Amino acid sequence: PSPRSCQPHGANEESLQYEIEELKQKDLALDQEIAQLLSEGYSLEELEKHISLLHEYNDIKDAGQMLLGKLAVIRGVTTKQLYPEYDLELSD
């Protein structure tokens, strides 16, 4: 059994209520952030495109990190040691 199933019903319900409140706060914060960006002249389409490009960038970066990791294993070095060879910054 999971830890949640061992909790008394009231404690589980209390935990869910807390999570719901946290999500409501996050939703409100995101709505405020969107309103701020819209007031600065950004359009929803532009924001959606930007988010889509960020997802694509992250997917490509993840693939690159995976390849670097495999190469490091093959060469018997750390990924960090490969960064200079490919002109990468540690913050990349």
42's tokens: 């950004």
Using the predicted structure, report yes or no on whether residue 25 has a pLDDT greater than 90. yes
Angle at 49 between CA 46 and CA 54, to 5 degrees: 125
For residue 7, the model assigns a pLDDT of: 54
Report the alpha-carbon distance of residue 31 to residue 38 in Å, rounded. 10
* Cα separations in angstroms, 59 against 39, 48, 67, 86, 92: 30, 17, 12, 19, 14
What is the distance, to the nearest Å, from the Cα of residue 69 to the centroid of all Cα atoms in its chain? 20
Kindly indicate the confidence band of residue 21, based on its pLDDT and cuts at 50, 70 and 90. Answer: very high
* Cα separations in angstroms, 61 against 52, 56, 68: 14, 9, 10
Helices 9-39 and 44-75, packing angle to 10 deg: 110
Kindly indicate the confidence band of residue 38, based on its pLDDT and cuts at 50, 70 and 90. Answer: confident
Whether pTM exceeds 0.85: no
